[in-house]
A and B are shown apart, each in its own frame.
Chain A
Amino acid sequence: GAVVSQHPSRVICKSGTSVKIECRSLDFQATTMFWYRQFPKQSLMLMATSNEGSKATYEQGVEKDKFLINHASLTLSTLTVTSAHPEDSSFYICSARGLAGRSSYNEQFFGPGTRLTVL
């Protein structure tokens, strides 16, 4: 199947610093990428949807100035957590949807996730 990578897989940072997470579709062009957050023992919560070349659409309750999303190309989207605080510690997962030769219109390919720990 289509491959989506994330970098870094794990990051530890100090409170107040910013952290950038990259999401790449390796073998297909992703017209849409999604960013999710998952706290321990909870389900995935969609944070935002980004389309290449346009501004991201954020879900209700997600601060767009805190979670900056850039989808500069059809294979790369970045999420920057600005002025991170301990409550931002979570598992961040991206997914990509595009023309990967699959018949399922809604099939999303997920990255392996990035575990962020803010001290």
Chain B
Amino acid sequence: DAKTTQPPSMDCAEGRAANLPCNHSTISGNEYVYWYRQIHSQGPQYIIHGLKNNETNEMASLIITEDRKSSTLILPHATLRDTAVYYCIVEGFGNEKLTFGTGTRLTIIP
């Protein structure tokens, strides 16, 4: 059973903020939310992770709802190089495995 649900595809205009949603309604208390992305024919790239607080780094921001049942990855100023498949993954702290779902194919439009 998939732990996360993401829309299969999204478009975003270049220069605008890209907001990628993820539902994880069955998340348990010790599970983190991780985001990775995969540019075509490359290995996945780590973006960000969080437990319950909002997080920001040089790549993106992660907004987690108070009930932790959903989250949003925000790319503040999308560029053409952000076109990729974005994976939202929920895994427990200390659990080594990452289980990839189908992800969201984000296309940045010039």
In the complex, how many residues of chain B place their beta carbon closer than 8 angstroms to a beta carbon of chain A?
Answer: 23
Q: Classify chain A's interface size.
A: 20 to 34
Minimum C-beta distance from A83 to chain B (A)? 26
Are A109 and B46 touching (Cβ within 8 A)? yes
A89 at the interface (CB under 8 A from B): no
Are A106 and B42 touching (Cβ within 8 A)? no
A95 at the interface (CB under 8 A from B): yes
A44 at the interface (CB under 8 A from B): yes
Chain A window 14-58, contacts with chain B (Cβ cutoff 8 Å), 1 for yes, 0 for no: 000000000000000000101010000001111001000000000
Total A-B residue contacts, Cβ distance less than 8 Å: 57
Contact pick for A43, options B42, B46, B49, B103, CB 8 Å: B103
CA distance A93 to B45 in the complex (A): 12
Minimum C-beta distance from A53 to chain B (A)? 16
CA distance A60 to B34 in the complex (A): 24
Are A111 and B96 touching (Cβ within 8 A)? no
Minimum C-beta distance from A105 to chain B (A)? 6
Minimum C-beta distance from A33 to chain B (A)? 10
Which residue on chain B has the smallest CB distance to residue A31? B96
**Residues of A at under 8 Å CB distance from B?**
1, 4, 6, 32, 34, 36, 43-46, 49, 91, 93, 95, 97, 104-113, 115
